[in-house]
Structure 1
């Protein structure tokens, strides 16, 4: 169900992911699917970075300062098309990252959890004490009660990997509920977003409605503060959530109907992307819906310190520039009042998408996803993972592209202690499907890469997030597409 839900094929199952500054990473969250988050890290300047460090098999890729002709867009202030490959300095091709060319970073601990049925973790966020909060879906009983079908859940895990509580929820009529995105507001409340088929606060308006739920943490269980369910007569999904410093809440995803503020508005065609802003008690402030006559989807949302929202995803149309072919990725900045400030569209002749986004304290934006051709360095073949940095005005500062002959995808991204962390999946004929975590400097130089392999089966990393000490938590699931255990790993700084 979940692969078909997002139209992502075998690997990408839910989208959203992020972080905020070193002290505020939790406000944007991670995961989504793929994952949402707040901004983190410190200030960093734009420009180019060198080709990275040499590896045993021939060196690692570096970031380029701008990719010629691969990135174009619109600016609301100018009312015209943006500049292709604007921002940064054109950098030389530094080569793509060989998987054996970087130092490894062995996890402090790495564990799975679940029921005899299927369980998945999609997103993670941390609090000031280093506890992790994991969002996902279970077909069994992780908490006190199963509501039938698949249920959403939030699990609190201690810094030493012990379960503190699990909040499992669903509709009493036994439909399917999923939790794709998670974040924490500045007051320490947990925010979770996803989909419901039968309704959490009433009957679903379509096949699926989106929802955002606010939880107040407790010693042995959380308290539900409110649940905001919304939708149209069509299908509507929440794939990522974030919060700003005023405890406003943001959600993104896709809708086949019309969620916008103008009652006379209409869907642009197929699915549209959207950003919805709620206040701290769940009231709707505005909804910014956008798209083309083809399919469009928001995967991840993040916020900056002034309350601007950033969303990344994919478009099959001409959202901000002529489509390069198939899916193109996009990044869009929305003002605190809900107005589009700029949008950047990027892509190749194949399929390309942004799956995770995060903003730092200066409003720089980091995006992760995958591309089917060259956007930063020479393509490794198949689908390559990438991380791209924009400044607050939408100028591209650098792009780091990496991969081998098969495929790699960044599904979540975050920032912490001056580092950028990208998590995702890689596939090759030898190791099958594995999860990875890649660490970069904020200037785009690679630091280390760790493959996570719990079993001989498949592993899918879906969310990544740091704590205040710089430890990094990664969540996902392992097994097969239909029978899984959720997983969580902690890596030291």
Structure 2
């Protein structure tokens, strides 16, 4: 097993400006809509596109609908964001749907948490996995955990064998520390194997998972057990049987985490999350973190993104069709006072464009993002709709975005010269001397031919004569000014002649 730590001083920082050499794009809102009832708290955590561009499905949790404190929630939307149906899944406790995916058989699957009410003073949370049809009907559902454990799933991916890999966390009931949890399911939802990792008394969580066509699996999250400092971001590569290939941690002296992971073109991974630093005054500052990793776990590049006076986080990252990346998350003056934030990157992590969107209340954020066409994206998250003086009210939030190349005005090739500045009154300009005009010159030339009929006209068949000596005489008819011979066509030419009177002699 190999573990590495990347410390703060080698992380590259990118402020909110496009990097030289990166293409520039404008991001704009096509439409944005919220879902939920007034006075209730609702959130969207994950979104997918329905195959064939027939709309979207998001998953989350709702207090507006359902039977319990909060229920797992799935909503089907049209391409314009209008609700077509919504379903809740749960019982009396707090239940949630954290991640939803398309399955290869044309259905959908979500993972999250289901809470059992064990008594007045005891609740038990298990991993919840539900496979459902395009109309929201349950095909099968399973829970994983037990009465002595509290477990939650945050992410799921379909594997090469058409099973599923689930990532989350687990803890013994009543214990504060958590272990990262990975569960492999077959296509029917039965467990094939599970793995946990973490040290007693410390917290570890797997927030994201991605499955490669080769069968390899990437897990990303946060660890206190294996990092260098408080909590570090980690990425673990395992094979299809759950055996670890490598495990790498990233971070500085504060708390860092990985929230999302995707495949890179070379078979490596790109993950996104947050990196925390501490200012000279002692205040902590979060920046969004994106790291590109090679297949062997070595770092290809890593960047942080943000401003010194704000807190940023990347909650979801995708590989875009143009070979770059786009992440969605939050930005604001504090972790609680924030807006949704979308940032487009090129293939090397340079910023191509970004967009901040939110309302007047704190707490708006983007949790999941997808690309729907070559130039359009959709993100899902949470919007704070609380009225002034009213009860807390958050809604699920879905926003469609469009991108287009940004028009860049090029500066002139040479900047204009500044005007002369004189103390007091400037002296009159010195007049330029008059320009002496050069005399115009002329040329004299003609053709020497064999005038067989002696009519003075070159008739057909009367060709030029080569090599005839020609003299240019001055105005006196005697002085030779220039000499030449006719060329192969019988022509001659005297050029560069000053104005005057000349004679030609053969």
TM-score of the aligned structures, taking structure 1 as reference length: 0.71
- Are the counterparts in 1 of residues 95 and 114 from structure 2 also a CA contact under 8 Å? yes
Is 2:87 the partner of 1:167? yes
Is 2:247 the partner of 1:343? yes
- Are the counterparts in 2 of residues 186 and 245 from structure 1 also a CA contact under 8 Å? no
- Are the counterparts in 2 of residues 368 and 413 from structure 1 also a CA contact under 8 Å? yes
Q: Which residue of 2 aligns with 1:148?
A: 68
Alignment of 1:47-62 (within 5 A): none
In structure 2, which of residues 277, 281, 296 is the aligned counterpart of residue 373 of structure 1?
277
| Distance (Å, rounded) in 1 between the aligned partners of 2:196 and 2:30 | 42
Q: Which residue of 2 aligns with 1:227?
A: 141
| Distance (Å, rounded) in 2 between the aligned partners of 1:150 and 1:383 | 30
Q: Which residue of 2 aligns with 1:476?
A: 381
Q: Which residue of 2 aligns with 1:109?
A: 31
How far is the alpha carbon of 1:230 from its aligned partner? 0.9
> Which digits, 9 at most, give the CA deviation of each residue in 1:377-411, with x for residues without a partner?
xxx97111111111122111111211112311111
Q: Which residue of 1 aligns with 2:220?
A: 312
Gaps of 5+ in 2: 404-506
- Are the counterparts in 1 of residues 13 and 303 from structure 2 also a CA contact under 8 Å? no
| Distance (Å, rounded) in 1 between the aligned partners of 2:88 and 2:176 | 35
Alignment of 1:80-229 (within 5 A): 81-82=2-3, 95-98=13-16, 104-116=26-38, 117-130=40-53, 131-141=55-65, 146-171=66-91, 174-198=92-116, 207-217=124-134, 221-229=135-143
- Are the counterparts in 1 of residues 11 and 303 from structure 2 also a CA contact under 8 Å? no
- Are the counterparts in 2 of residues 194 and 210 from structure 1 also a CA contact under 8 Å? yes
| Distance (Å, rounded) in 2 between the aligned partners of 1:191 and 1:291 | 28
> Which digits, 9 at most, give the CA deviation of each residue in 1:328-375, with x for residues without a partner?
11000110111111110111001111111111454221111111139x
> Which digits, 9 at most, give the CA deviation of each residue in 1:239-298, with x for residues without a partner?
11111243211111100149xxxxxxxxx9931102111111111111121112311111
Q: Which residue of 1 aligns with 2:163?
A: 248
- Three-state SS of the structure 1 residue aligned to 2:285 is coil
Gaps of 5+ in 1: 1-73, 75-80, 200-204, 259-267, 375-379
Q: Which residue of 2 aligns with 1:486?
A: 396
| Distance (Å, rounded) in 2 between the aligned partners of 1:339 and 1:356 | 21
Q: Which residue of 2 aligns with 1:16?
A: none
How far is the alpha carbon of 1:231 from its aligned partner? 0.6
The structure-2 alpha-carbon separation of the partners of 1:206 and 1:276, relative to structure 1 and needing over 3 Å to count, comes to farther
In structure 1, which of residues 393, 396, 406 is the aligned counterpart of residue 296 of structure 2?
393
How far is the alpha carbon of 1:123 from its aligned partner? 0.8
Q: Which residue of 2 aligns with 1:462?
A: 367
| Distance (Å, rounded) in 2 between the aligned partners of 1:465 and 1:309 | 21
| Distance (Å, rounded) in 2 between the aligned partners of 1:390 and 1:354 | 13
Q: Which residue of 2 aligns with 1:453?
A: 358
How far is the alpha carbon of 1:192 from its aligned partner? 0.5
| Distance (Å, rounded) in 1 between the aligned partners of 2:208 and 2:183 | 12
Q: How many residues of Structure 1 are paired with residues of Structure 2 in the alignment? A: 378
How far is the alpha carbon of 1:455 from its aligned partner? 4.7
| Distance (Å, rounded) in 1 between the aligned partners of 2:275 and 2:161 | 35
- Three-state SS of the structure 2 residue aligned to 1:207 is strand
The structure-2 alpha-carbon separation of the partners of 1:271 and 1:93, relative to structure 1 and needing over 3 Å to count, comes to closer
The structure-2 alpha-carbon separation of the partners of 1:198 and 1:482, relative to structure 1 and needing over 3 Å to count, comes to farther
- Three-state SS of the structure 1 residue aligned to 2:27 is coil
The structure-2 alpha-carbon separation of the partners of 1:456 and 1:254, relative to structure 1 and needing over 3 Å to count, comes to closer
Q: Which residue of 1 aligns with 2:198?
A: 291
| Distance (Å, rounded) in 2 between the aligned partners of 1:316 and 1:84 | 12
| Distance (Å, rounded) in 2 between the aligned partners of 1:94 and 1:371 | 11
> Which digits, 9 at most, give the CA deviation of each residue in 1:122-143, with x for residues without a partner?
11111322221100111012xx
How far is the alpha carbon of 1:187 from its aligned partner? 2.2
> Which digits, 9 at most, give the CA deviation of each residue in 1:432-454, with x for residues without a partner?
41111111122212111111224
- Are the counterparts in 2 of residues 440 and 447 from structure 1 also a CA contact under 8 Å? yes
| Distance (Å, rounded) in 2 between the aligned partners of 1:137 and 1:468 | 27
| Distance (Å, rounded) in 2 between the aligned partners of 1:255 and 1:237 | 7
| Distance (Å, rounded) in 2 between the aligned partners of 1:384 and 1:235 | 31
The structure-2 alpha-carbon separation of the partners of 1:401 and 1:239, relative to structure 1 and needing over 3 Å to count, comes to same
How far is the alpha carbon of 1:457 from its aligned partner? 4.4
Larger Rg: 2
